[in-house]
A and B are shown apart, each in its own frame.
Chain A
């Protein structure tokens, strides 16, 4: 009997390994109409070679396992970073269900967002009535201080005009006239989730800062995270700014929203950037964005409309963090405190301790453009060699910047950049030109299984490991975290490869 020990009940992870289920799987094949094991093995083998790789890279219409999502996902991540803000996605309702599930699975936190639930009638007549009713309902039920509206591809294809709809909804008393309802058009067939983030931040800032420009600056520095899914990074940025006594506004600060304490009471809108602080961001000294390609339009808007200087600084690795701190110091005149100098020294110490295991190690990675640049910065710093770099949501500017970074280091010489490619392309790369390590999100586990390349989970989403998003990848402590994940994955793999008694275990060392 299958559950023959009530004190050790076997779930799917062991239940189906039992003989009776193995027999069931075998017997079921009679009806499946499957291919012979030989045929499967033959094709599996073929997919590992150069011929397959060339066919795979020749495809023009098909995308398999892309490393990118669509715009509204980024838009609503931006929105929940503001005080008591409810994201409202105008279009068909299934999208919001997907977005909420996706974020919830990654952060293991509640994620609130509403939809205007458009159906066939709205497809024909437009979604204005849905907007009028939807804003009224969500305003009354969820009592937000701001509702941030973005679109799905449905609303975009039928050409719904958010500006007009929101104006008309306000005229129809859905929400008070002065209630902030910023918006962004976020078609899913343009760009990716990072584009959506950019569009929504721009929409929110332009709404909140309208008419708020003062004669003098408020002496603050604005920070814009970008599509950031490491709670620890936002906390680290705030800690650095506090240590340096810098007066700052962290825009779209979703670190409390996505990591709220369990107090026994559910709060719908924990934390977030205060709306008045966001409104005053127009009067800041300067804006620093931690991602470039998730803030392109926003920075352009800040430069031209606010007449404010903007900078991109990725505080990843030692040099990236150095640059950020020096930039902050230069902009504010505040010195970098001894405490951070010590932290830097400790991180450098850790890197030198581990460098022997990393030097010349061939590594593949994939993810969003800014994440990838940060990781490459770090890898080059420790003497590891990025080999395959896959970015599904790439663009020419990014590829130029990444190429320049790679060219700046002897360790970047063998790297190949695969813009617009997907994880099925990466599979071919890993089979034909193997590497020691793969860095990417949870979807990389399929590549790990197929190609046996050890996986370090960094990026979004991470569904199958707990709590990684709570750490930082930024700053000196972030450098130690990256180092820890990477070097210890390599050491785990070394142990796994030297574990067979009297065969490979001569190198099964205690001291590494």
Chain B
């Protein structure tokens, strides 16, 4: 089953483009003049203006970044350890290789979890083999095996281990699969080798795929085995799994609460606040609910093929999309669930009305430029629309062609599209389009704040959140207001200098 996305969405109604299309196209041409010829040829394919009625955004994606361009992209390790595997709270994820990767990804994403850190949960810790020169020369397999036995002794309540490979592992030819098998026998637990070396692929996106494949190959066999032995927990007709929610600031919880309220039973939550047990049991659900399509579509497709479990991409940003998604989810179940979904939508109406009554007038008509990772460049757009804000540019760090196709359902005619935008391009676009708010990542934040432009980090919710669900939308609205309407922006510009002019 493919996600029937367009059915859940109201297509944008605007007939007047948000940006002047020919002008914006001409401007793109001007901007890329600064590149040397070879790089210019590559980059011009990644920048465009969306024209209504087209089936995608007209940009190339998921190809190698131009060397020296200052991309915001990360690597496969970041995709696997930082996103997919890292948030599984009761496993120990080893950053296997030199010290840096584990150190930089240590507590860098706010994947909230409930647990006793260092005892039965390990999400905000950094476990590394801290490779030294001798490990590069002689290989790290022996050290890895020893390390796993050591950690199992010191952290006996861990439910399993994953080995997150850093660049040197693949280059020196270590056999981490063999070590994983051996270690699993020794400690009697799941040990998952993940070949997510940073040089693989063009961005963190391949890391998500590799991480999904590792779940398929090293976790689901446990389900198959349990099933054969008749060891599957009791299931109900309402069992679902939340897939691809990393619980940034608690997003998965403010989502889960709604899914449970409409009468479904969430038996697994991936990967934010998730456990190995939940992952193992996922193939027993009736429907997989996928929030981050980009990072978890692979495993959802696999479960569809191997276990016949349908899946649905949903979007819990902003009341319009939340209601549409709840109805869509409920439509896969019986009338009881459908009636409950209506009840839940109605129940939260008062809360939403109050939020809109307070914030919409303060935000109405403000323009936004977005640039984030793999689902938010389209998924958060309706939340901005709910607040009366206008999106004038968007793009993905590591989106694929299908992401740009999906994006067409969310954006208006004339929206500027930039794939894997470089720091140089982004700065130029912002100077030209003059959005009222930039919503992007930490590396972009202070660049634009130095231009006195309100900014919100849309990877980490700027340390706020959750933004998912009805409860999250209230926080989202509050945060956009506090960013845009802060009096501090009016302090920029020295008064006696302004007076001179």
Contacts and interface: CB of A to CB of B under 8 A. Distances in A.
Interface in B341-376: 347-348, 350-351, 354-355, 357-358
Contacts of A16: 250, 253
Q: Which of A7, A98, A102, A130 has the most CB of B within 10 A?
A: A98
Given A28-B269, A63-B127, A266-B451, A55 B443 contact: no
A95 B82 CA distance: 13
A190 B273 CA distance: 35
Contact of B470 (A3, A28, A120, A138): A3
A188 B168 CA distance: 10
Interface residues of A, number: 108
Interface stretch (B17-25, B49-57, B421-429): B421-429
A423 B36 CA distance: 47
Interface residues of B, number: 127
A62 B127 contact: yes
Interface in B1-58: 34-36, 38-39
B470 to A, nearest CB: 7
A24 B99 contact: no
Contacts of B260: 24, 27
A97 interface: yes
A190 B132 contact: yes
Given A189-B136, A266-B427, A94 B442 contact: no
B205 to A, nearest CB: 12
B34 A140 contact: yes
B71 A93 contact: yes
Interface stretch (B102-110, B290-298, B304-312, B386-394): B102-110
B98 A188 contact: yes
B176 to A, nearest CB: 14
B199 A1 contact: no
Q: Which of B72, B273, B474 has the most CB of A within 10 A?
A: B474
A67 to B, nearest CB: 9
B39 A133 contact: yes
Interface in A121-180: 122-123, 130-131, 133-142, 152-154, 157-158
A474 interface: no
A117 B64 contact: yes
Interface stretch (B152-160, B211-219, B323-331, B410-418): B152-160
Given A12-B464, A112-B423, A189-B135, A446 B492 contact: no
Contacts of B448: 266
A11 B464 contact: yes
A29 B148 CA distance: 27
Contact of B422 (A6, A44, A141): A141
B112 interface: yes
Nearest to B103: A69
A189 B132 contact: yes
Given A11-B464, A120-B200, A154 B168 contact: yes
B201 A98 contact: no
A117 B67 contact: yes
Interface string B70-105: 111111111000000000001000000111111111
Nearest to A63: B130
B39 A104 contact: no
Q: Which of B204, B423, B471 has the most CB of A within 10 A?
A: B471
Contacts of B201: 119-120
A233 B422 CA distance: 33
Given A12-B464, A65-B126, A104-B443, A266 B68 contact: no
A391 interface: no
B278 interface: yes
A135 to B, nearest CB: 6
B114 to A, nearest CB: 5
Contact of B66 (A70, A98, A100, A133): A133
Nearest to A122: B199
B446 A109 contact: yes
A163 B486 CA distance: 50
Contacts of A110: 443, 446-447, 450
B408 interface: no
B161 to A, nearest CB: 11
B427 to A, nearest CB: 7
Interface string A9-52: 11110011000110011011001111100011001100100001
A103 to B, nearest CB: 10
Contacts of B445: 104
Nearest to A67: B103
B65 A12 contact: no
A2 interface: yes
A142 B424 contact: yes
B166 interface: yes
A99 interface: yes
30 contacts: A1-B351, A3-B470, A3-B474, A6-B355, A9-B477, A10-B475, A24-B260, A34-B275, A40-B157, A60-B146, A63-B128, A66-B126, A93-B73, A94-B76, A97-B71, A104-B442, A110-B443, A114-B67, A115-B71, A117-B66, A122-B199, A137-B35, A137-B36, A138-B68, A141-B424, A153-B167, A188-B131, A189-B132, A427-B118, A443-B107
Interface of A: 1-4, 6-7, 9-12, 15-16, 20-21, 24-25, 27-28, 31-35, 39-40, 43-44, 47, 52, 55-56, 59-66, 68-70, 72-73, 88, 91-95, 97-102, 104-105, 108-120, 122-123, 130-131, 133-142, 152-154, 157-158, 187-190, 192, 260, 262-267, 424, 427, 443, 446, 449-450
The 9 closest A-B pairs by CB, nearest first: A94-B75, A33-B277, A70-B100, A134-B67, A134-B68, A98-B104, A138-B68, A137-B68, A188-B98
Given A12-B464, A138-B69, 15 more contacts: A2-B351, A15-B250, A20-B257, A28-B269, A31-B268, A32-B275, A47-B118, A52-B154, A64-B125, A98-B104, A105-B442, A157-B172, A189-B132, A264-B451, A446-B117
